[in-house]
C-alpha cells in the first residue's frame, strides 16, 4: 500500500510541477509536459513489479503507437482557442478527437500486424 501511495505522490508532484512552471514560463512548462516522464516512471514501476522483458517490450511498443493518436489534440485545441472557441469546448473537442483516433487505432492496428 505504501508503494501505491508513493507512486501516486510522485505522479501528482510531476503534474503540479508542470502546472506551476506553465504559469510562469508556458513554453518551458510545455517542454516538461512533453517529456515522457510518466511513461518512464510507468516503465520503471512495471519493471520493478514484474522483471518481465517480454511484458516490458509490449508495453513500451504499445505506448509508442498510442502516443500517435493523441498528438492531433495538441494542434486542434490551440487552433480552436485562436478562433475564439472557449477553453472547455476546445478541450472537449480535443479529447473527443483523441478518443475517436484511439478507437481507430485499436480497430486498425491488428490489420497492420500491430499487437496493442
Angle at 94 between CA 90 and CA 98, to 5 degrees: 170
pTM of the model: 0.79
Q: How far apart are CA 56 and CA 62, in angstroms?
A: 10
Return the SS3 of 52: coil
Which residue is it, cell 483523441? 98
- Report the number of distinct structural domains present in the chain: 2
Which residue is it, cell 496493442? 116
pLDDT of residue 34: 87
pLDDT of residue 14: 87
Q: Are residues 67 and 111 in the same domain?
A: yes
Q: Are residues 93 and 61 in the same domain?
A: yes
Give the structural domain span for 90.
51-116
In a domain, 41, yes or no: no
Q: How far apart are CA 38 and CA 59, in angstroms?
A: 13
In a domain, 44, yes or no: no
In a domain, 40, yes or no: no
* Mean pLDDT split into 10-residue runs, the chain, 116 residues: 89 90 92 87 93 96 94 98 98 98 95 88
Selection from 5, 39, 35, 41 nearest residue 21 by Cα: 35
Amino acid at each position: 500500500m505504501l508503494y501505491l501511495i508513493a507512486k501516486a505522490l510522485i505522479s501528482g508532484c510531476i503534474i503540479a510541477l508542470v502546472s506551476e512552471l506553465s504559469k510562469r514560463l508556458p513554453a518551458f512548462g510545455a517542454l516538461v509536459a512533453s517529456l515522457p516522464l510518466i511513461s518512464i516512471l510507468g516503465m520503471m514501476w512495471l519493471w520493478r513489479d514484474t522483471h518481465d522483458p517480454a511484458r516490458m517490450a509490449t508495453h513500451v511498443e504499445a505506448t509508442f503507437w498510442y502516443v500517435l493518436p493523441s498528438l492531433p489534440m495538441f494542434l486542434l485545441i490551440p487552433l480552436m482557442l485562436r478562433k475564439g472557441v472557449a477553453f472547455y469546448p476546445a478541450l472537449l473537442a480535443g479529447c473527443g478527437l483523441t478518443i475517436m483516433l484511439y478507437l481507430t487505432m485499436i480497430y486498425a492496428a491488428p490489420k497492420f500486424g500491430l499487437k496493442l
